[in-house]
Amino acid sequence: MISPAFRDALQGWLDSQSALRGSSENTIIAYRRDVTGFLGFLTAHHGGEQGLGVLETIGVSDIRAWMAAERGQGASSRTLARRLSAVKSFYRWLADRQGFEATAVLSTRAPRFQKKLPRPLEKDAARAVIDLTETQSDKDWVGARDVAVLTLLYGCGLRISEALGLTAGDVPLAEVIRIVGKGGKERPVPVLPAARAAVDRYCALCPWDLPEDGPLFRGVRGAALSARAIQAVTARVRMQLGLPSSATPHALRHSFATHLLDAGGDLRAIQELLGHASLSTTQAYTAVDTARLMEVYNRTHPRS
């Protein structure tokens, strides 16, 4: 058990992340889990419930012990790096308010790991996923709904949460819509005619009332559509098409970016369309493009 003082400090930090940084609910949940795990370790490591004072005396050996314990429980380098990042952010916030030195925590290096590159679909595969999705339900409106969602992911580069966050008041979709993404950041997104047509068809077939302030996409019982439903139908489709497990709804967003890049799209413009805070995130797609080029080269070169 962590002490009430620990819990209060943690909640204060989480509130600041939500209010000032606009962190999403899922991000806040992950932060809470990561830092609670760290505070729980400290409590056990130092022999029972203690106040905030123990946080001010953390040394390098404590951080190493925590990281070793996380490793021992099976945490990967990627997971441990994410948890350490959350802990550092919490410590930075707390040190500013309590006036103590947090160098031991803030100077700790995260374990190195190889970043996973996005796994986009080929153009024909992306089209096949969307085409076959419509056949997965015996209700025409459900098939039209799922096609509309996936078309927004592939045709506009939306995150699934962004597509499902649209309200009925957003239709008919304009040629450019404003999307609020991660961190509450707003960006303009062009909407292709195919995406507008797919959404219009869904709206025409949907049996539920769609008040302007309500969710645009509905589940079979009329409640807001869940991301899980879209993930499930995509899983069925990829099995029928023989596609790898990486062929997820999010892969359609990756495909949007990669296919734009293939067509000569500007990296900075693609960054804006995707809503990436850092260009380095978008640059991962150049690595995908290079990796694919090298694969073709190695397969076809006369000396290979």
Residues annotated catalytic, as ranges = 159, 182, 250, 253, 276, 285
Which residue in this structure is represented by tokens 């769609």? 210
Q: Please state, in angstroms and rounded to a whole number, the distance separating the CA atoms of residues 146 and 138.
A: 13
Helix %, strand %, coil % for the chain, to 5? 65, 5, 30
> What's 224's DSSP letter?
B
Contacts of 79 (CB under 8 A, 6+ apart): 70
* Torsion angle of the four alpha carbons 146, 147, 150, 151, in this order, in degrees rounded to the nearest 10: -150
Q: Please state, in angstroms and rounded to a whole number, the distance separating the CA atoms of residues 153 and 130.
A: 10
Q: Please state, in angstroms and rounded to a whole number, the distance separating the CA atoms of residues 96 and 134.
A: 54
> What's 151's DSSP letter?
H
User: Sign of the C-alpha dihedral, residues 245, 150, 141, 215?
Assistant: positive
Q: Please state, in angstroms and rounded to a whole number, the distance separating the CA atoms of residues 94 and 33.
A: 17
Question: Diameter of the chain by CA atoms?
Answer: 69
- How many Cβ atoms from other residues are within 10 Å of residue 303's Cβ? 4
